Amino acid sequence: MTDTASVRLELPELADTMRFGAALGSRLRPGDLVLLAGELGAGKTALTKGIAVGMGITETITSPTFVLARVHNGTRDGLPTTLVHVDAYRLGGSVELDDLDLDTDLSRAAVVIEWGEGIAAGLASDPLHIKLIRHPDDSRSAVVSAGARWRDTVSALVPDPA
């Protein structure tokens, strides 16, 4: 990534993670790539559930750990939306999304990849990187690293410090 800026969000409750995801999902467009990092239980799938809500997807979102990828369709503002949710946890090397044999045109979908850091970053010229951190008190925070494509989106999602 070049010309990248990072911001940190505090997400005290799991509901805050989902609200952040919904706000992000409402701004995602076809061809966008979001890479999620964080330990087990940090909230990657919860964030993806929120993203789906923001995209107008009403299907149940579950981790695609054992199937590697799931395709979800919805409607936002009267237009169809598609979310491809990938879990790269079990993959050992770099990912080519074509290798997942998905029945969808990825240029017409937003793609969220859990455990995608270092594996799938090369799939887009300017992916959005989100590292979720789970604290001992069960609160969470997110470090969002955004390149030029994402600057306006991230600034709209991050509250100004009081």
In the chain, the domains with their CATH numbers are 6-147 (3.40.50.300)
Q: Which residue has the higher pLDDT, 18 or 119?
A: 18
pLDDT tens by residue, 117-139 = 777 666 777 889 999 999 999 88
Give every CB contact of residue 79 below 8 A, 6+ residues apart in sequence. Answer: none
- DSSP result, 2-52: -S-EEEEEEE-SHHHHHHHHHHHHTT--TT-EEEEE--TTSSHHHHHHHHH
- Position 45 scores a pLDDT of 93
Check pLDDT > 70 for residue 3: no
List the structure tokens of 126. Answer: 């300017």
Q: Strands across the sheet with 128-134, in order? A: 5-11, 140-146, 128-134, 33-37, 110-114, 79-87, 69-76
**Averaged pLDDT of the chain:** 84
Task: Enter the pTM of the model.
Answer: 0.87
